[in-house]
Amino acid sequence: MKMKVERVRQMEIKQKSIILGLGFACGIIVMLLIAFVLMGGNKDNPRGAVTQQIIEDNKKEISSLKEELANAEKTLKQSQDGKTQQQLIDLQTTAYSLFKIYYNYNQSQTTNEERQKEVATLVASEVAQKLFPLSADKSSSDYGMIQSHLNSLQVYAQPQTGTSITAFVDCDYTASAGDLKSNVPHYIFQVTYDTKGKKITGMTELGKVGK
C-alpha cells in the first residue's frame, strides 16, 4: 500500500508540474497578445493585418492550452479518486472483513463450517477451505478451548497486474487456550485479489516476521 501511495504522489507531482507549466505558458501568451493589440491599434499601421493574424493565432493557441490544462486537471483528479484507488479500498475492506472472521474466534461458539459460509462473498471456495478446514471442528486442545482475537491489520498492496492485485496482509492477534495466552505481532499472509469478482482468490501463509 505504501508503494502505491508513493506512485500516486509521484503522479500528483508530475500533473501539478504540467498544470503550472501550462498556466505559465498561458500567461506569456496573454502578455504577447496585449502587446500585439497595442501595436496594431492604429488602423493606419501597415502591419495591422499581420498583427491581427498573429492575434487570431494566439487566441487559438490559448484555447488549445486551456484544453490541455483542463485535461491535466482531470487526470490529476482521477489519480486521486479514480477506479484504481477504489479497488485498493475494496481490497482493504475485503481483507479486514476476512481476517476479522478468521482471528475473532471462539471454538466453543462457532465451527469452521459456519465460518466458511460467512466468508463465501469474500473469498474463492478453495481459499475458504484452506483457511477453515472442516477437520478442525473435530479436534481439541489439551489446554482447553481455543480462542483468538484480531488486534490490528495492515494491507500493503503491490502494483496491479491485469485484473489482480497482490498484497501482503500484516496481522497482529492474540491467541489463547485455557490459561495459556500469546500475543503475535506481524504475522504475514500474501493474498491475491480479483478486482472484477471483488474476492480474494489466492492466499499464502508466510508466517511471523520480526518481533
pLDDT, one tens digit per residue, over 94-148 is: 999 999 999 999 988 999 999 999 999 999 999 999 999 998 877 766 767 889 9
Whether residue 190 has pLDDT greater than 60: yes
Per-residue pLDDT reduced to its tens digit, 149-172: 999 999 999 888 889 999 999 999
Inter-residue contact 156 to 148 (CB < 8 Å) = no
- Do the bridges between strand 164-177 and strand 180-194 make them parallel or antiparallel, or are there none, so unpaired? antiparallel
**Assigned C-alpha cell, 56:** 487570431
| Residue 177 · residue 147 · CB < 8 Å | yes
Whether the pTM exceeds 0.85: the reply is no
> Side chain identity at 8, as an amino acid letter?
V
User: How many C-alpha atoms does 198 have within 13 Å on its Cβ side?
Assistant: 9
- For 142, counting Cβ atoms within 10 Å of its Cβ (0-12 exposed, 13-18 middle, 19+ buried), the class is exposed
Crossing angle of the two packed helices 2-39 and 48-81, in degrees rounded to 10 = 170
- 3-20: per-residue pLDDT in tens? 444 544 454 444 444 444
Q: Could you tell me how many residues make up the chain?
A: 211
In the chain, which residue ranges form alpha helices assigned H by DSSP? 2-39, 48-81, 83-103, 112-118, 125-131
Strand ranges across the sheet with 105-106: 105-106, 146-157, 164-177, 180-194, 199-208
Contact between 208 and 170 (Cβ < 8 Å): no
